[in-house]
Structure formats: structure tokens, C-alpha cells
Structure 1
């Protein structure tokens, strides 16, 4: 059985257990909302390269670049897990000092929940070259869907400079206003949708130690609610991952570095018992970390 771990506070575990839900926050309300646009910048670089360096396909490069301007994180909600339990950087980064908890969930149950709801459970991609390859592959597949130029590349190369410019203008007009517009629009719309789905998986490679996975809820069925953040209201939805009568999803709770681990463990055990989750395993962090 594989596990994924969610680091939280004492307030967080009370909310998760009592509501049988975990919060997924709107992508633009994350601590670093620039993450979503990380992949878009790669796609724009690819499109700009085609537009500027390959006159034969400049109409395609222009169409992709133009369409990417409309890609947004509307109705996209995310919640995070780690492959790694009892990880020092996670205690430091995502838990209050001396009061953190790590909840271990059965990843197969999380996957089943996502399939049922039409969401995705995906591993984050950290390596820069892997990210670039994913974008290049999508752009290549989009090009295969895009209307083909009326001339072959060899025929284009045989044209004079003036004829090549006329060809490029005509190709762009055909795909932006003329008879090939519907096919061209469908191709770039597909690309934008695929990039919007891929974008939440991209993270800066400096965070690779976290080994993060995310539930990605696009246009969630759950009611959107709001919580107070440091300087704004953050929209979120509650994903009912513990709704089944017989718990199989929450398997473990790790008591983080804490000045009174024994008392904290006893209180968490009482919470689990009174909410019908007394089969959940409890253990204490083994890290000699003092931050209180």
C-alpha cells in the first residue's frame, strides 16, 4: 500500500476529521501563485521561437502565442501531499512551530476519489528539462492538429524573400480569418486546455525534496467557500475524501516535533476515537528538532 502525506496544524486536523474533508485552495490564492504561470512561460518561449525563427510556421507560432494569453487558473483548485513522512523541511514550511501533524493517506483511495469526482491526482514535475519536454511534446501534437501550410517546406525555401513574406501573410490569414480558422482554433484551444491541466504539476526544481503530489480539481462540484488569508480572502472547496462509513483512506497520524508529544498524541487519539477513526495508527516524529 502506497501512502501520501499531508502536513497540517492542530486546527487543520480538527477541520479535516470533523468535516471528513481536506481543503483545496484556488490556484491563484496559493502562497506562490506564480507557479501556475511557470509552464505558460515555457510554452510562450516555444511559440515565440517558432514565430521569430521559422517563417514557414510563423502562422502557427503566432496563433499559439496569441491563444496562450487567454489561459487562466479560473475554477482550478489544488491540495498538496508529499511522498515523504516526517520530513524536516515540511515541518518547517507547512506547520506551526511545535504543533505540527502529518496525516498519512492511502494513495489508492485518493486516486479512487479523484476518478469518481472527475479530478486528477498527479505528481509534481521538478526537473527543468522534463518540464520543457512536456511542453514541446504538447506543442508538437498541436502542430499535427493545425492546418497544414499550402506549400511544402522545400517549396517555401525555393521562393524569393518577397514571395516567402506573401506566403506567411496568406497562411496567417487563412488560419486566423479564412477557411482554415475553425481547424486552427480547435488545435490551439486543445493546446491551451492541455497546458492548463499540466501547469499545476510544474514546480521549481529547488523544491524537489518535497516530492509533492497534488489533487487538481478543475471546475469542482463542491461549493466554493472562503477563508481569511494574510491579506486577502482565499477561495477553497472541501474535498470529502473521508466520507465513506468505513475509513480506509486515513491510515496514519505522525505527531510532529513538539514540546509535549505525549500529551499531543493522547489528544489526537481521543479525537480519532470520538469520530470513529480509532483504527488510525499514531506515532511520533523521530526528528530532534526544537523550534519553540
Structure 2
């Protein structure tokens, strides 16, 4: 059962992603809200066998990602933009954010101080048990901008083969987005979200979040003016009724905890990553389901879903890597794994990239 604060936090995150899309998207970017096709996961053949045979995915502690500073950098941005007293908010936020909901350029010092003292307090309480577990996917681009010579096909991307699929000797699994999204729907602390790379988008996301919290407080105090159409504060009030000041700050702290797991260095932008993210503190669950693989903490998707009966992951496509040896390819075609793919109508493709592995 999701708490009221968690539902408010989820609404804020959804709202911020909508604003981000409206203000920054062009026809060369794809987000989870702008397509309904496949997500791609690069891995080795043995891991694919485990995924298919168990219909399970493994989410690993984000502190063990290929970007070793990822969590720390994301956390520093949250602290800098929201908590650092040297980063003067009234001055910092005077530049207007371009959107349809907010036009405020002035912030009341009393409200700002209230936000700082209470949001930091809630955040520090929750942050003591903060962990995020993730598994990653690559998103497609819009078909109309892909030409036959494009090296960034989502299921046949050389940099992805090199980095995540045993230097081209692995496979790329295509998951149906709508099926995967439906599978995790309603599970506390488990989300399928876009990764944010660009610095100006990260800044915008944090500023937009701050404005929501600020206006929620004004609304609580009966000081918020303006129309109701398209305004998140009034939508939340309509859905939840009166929102207490404690619920506002707890929801805000939950959002602050979540943000570091969706920020990534701009150097990884070509990966066009979407993530399945699980945060135990958002689900209000202790880390009792954590296991370890060579000292790397992880949780299993099946445990998070708490589904006892058999279910099938929505796998619809498999691309064989460019460097799989002829022997391995023949063995795969003769294997039970191949038979299982055909039984489940999984389309099997072959990479068209002429790449020879160095492994």
C-alpha cells in the first residue's frame, strides 16, 4: 500500500517529466512518454539464457554502475540546488522557467527558510537507509531520422555491443515497453523512467521541483493565487484533499532521494538510457531482499513483484552480436534456448555490423 506522501512524490516526478518534455524535446529525442515500442538490453548469452529461463531481471546497486561517480554527482546536484545556503535561492531562481504553469520570479524568505529547515530534516532521516537498484535499457530514436547507414540503431549499436555485450559476442534483448510497464505498475518504489543527461535539463528539473514544493506550501497556507487549470497543486488537492505540511515535506524528501538515480553524466548520452529503478526507502521496505553477486548487491524483479505464479517477461526480439563465433552461433541454433525463443515467437535478428572482437 502506497503512502499518501509517496503518491504525492510520484505525481511531482510525473509532472516534472512532463514539463521537461514540453520545454526541451525536439524530434530527435525519444522519451518513455513518446513511444510505445521496444526497450533494448545488451548482455552476454549466458545472462540472456538465465533471463529467459527464469523470466527474471536483476537490479544492481547503483553505486556499482559504469559511471562510478553517478550517485555522488547526482546527490551533489540535489544538495547544491536545493540545500546549499551559499547558493542563494531568491537570486538563483529569479530567472524565469519557461512553462505554462509557473511565472513566479520572486520567493518569500520566510517560505524559503521553512523549506530549507524542514525538507533537509526529512531528507536526512530518509537518507540514512538510501539505496537504489537499477537495470538499464536503451531507447530507440524516431524511425524517420534513422537511415540505413546509421550506426545508432537501438538493437545494433556498436558502442553498446562493446560496452555491455561482451565486446560484440553477446546479444541484445528487445522488451515490449507497454508490457514491462504494465508488469511493474503499482509496485511501491519501482519505476521505469528516463535518464537525464544534459546539465540544463537537470537544473530545470530541480528548479521545477522546487517551485512545486514552494507552491504546495503557499497553498497549505491559503496564499496561492491563480487559476486551477493545469496546476499540479490544485490537482493534488482534488485527488487527496487537504495535504498536511508534514506530507508536503516527506513527499519532497522522497523526490530528493529519487533524483540521483535518474541523473547521469552527459558523456553517456548516446546510450539513450531508460531505467528500471527500485528504491527501498520509497517502498518503506527494509533491504531484506538484497542478495550479492561477487560483492555486488542486487535485488530480483520477481521478488519485488512478489508474484508466486508463473509469468513471462515481454521479450519479443533478440539480436545476435556481430562477434559471436560461427561455432557459438551453430550451438545456439541447436540449443534448447533457441527452441524456447521460437516457442515464444521471439524474432531473432543478426547484427549487420562487421566487427571483430578483441576478446
Give TM class, smaller chain: 0.7 to 0.9
Note if contact 1:52-1:58 (Cα within 8 Å) is conserved in structure 2: no
Alpha-carbon distance change, 271 to 129 in structure 1, aligned in 2, over 3 angstroms: farther
Hey, what does 2:177 align to over in structure 1? Answer: 107
Hey, what does 1:170 align to over in structure 2? Answer: none
Does residue 35 of structure 1 match 2:70?
yes
Note if contact 1:147-1:184 (Cα within 8 Å) is conserved in structure 2: no
Hey, what does 1:17 align to over in structure 2? Answer: 52
Does residue 136 of structure 1 match 2:207?
yes
Alpha-carbon distance change, 276 to 99 in structure 1, aligned in 2, over 3 angstroms: closer
Alpha-carbon distance change, 85 to 187 in structure 1, aligned in 2, over 3 angstroms: same
Scaled by the length of structure 2, the TM-score of the pair is 0.61
| Per-residue deviation, residues 12-41 of structure 1 (Å, max 9, x unmatched) | 112212221111112233333532333332
Q: Which moved more, 1:41-50 or 1:202-211?
A: 41-50
SS in structure 1 opposite 2:349? strand
Note if contact 1:77-1:236 (Cα within 8 Å) is conserved in structure 2: yes
Q: Which moved more, 1:101-110 or 1:66-75?
A: 66-75
SS in structure 2 opposite 1:102? strand
Does residue 236 of structure 1 match 2:302?
no
Alpha-carbon distance change, 212 to 138 in structure 1, aligned in 2, over 3 angstroms: same
SS in structure 2 opposite 1:130? helix
Hey, what does 2:258 align to over in structure 1? Answer: 197
Matching residue within 141, 158, 162 for 1:92 = 162
Pairs within 5 Å for 1:137-152: 137-146=208-217
d(CA) in 1 for partners of 2:334, 2:199:
42
Hey, what does 2:346 align to over in structure 1? Answer: 280
Deviation, 1:197, is 2.4
Note if contact 2:55-2:312 (Cα within 8 Å) is conserved in structure 1: no
Note if contact 2:291-2:298 (Cα within 8 Å) is conserved in structure 1: yes
| Per-residue deviation, residues 112-163 of structure 1 (Å, max 9, x unmatched) | 1110534211111112111111111111222234479x9x9xxxxxxxxxxx
Paired residues in the alignment total 257
Unaligned runs of 5+ in 1: 153-182
Deviation, 1:49, is 6.0
Does residue 291 of structure 1 match 2:357?
yes
CA RMSD between the two structures: 3.4
Hey, what does 2:61 align to over in structure 1? Answer: 26
Does residue 255 of structure 1 match 2:290?
no
Q: Computing the radius of gyration over CA atoms, which structure comes out larger, 1 or 2? A: 1
Deviation, 1:61, is 3.4
Deviation, 1:91, is 1.0
Hey, what does 2:134 align to over in structure 1? Answer: 78
Does residue 44 of structure 1 match 2:72?
no
Scaled by the length of structure 1, the TM-score of the pair is 0.74
Hey, what does 1:270 align to over in structure 2? Answer: 335
Pairs within 5 Å for 1:202-217: 202-217=263-278
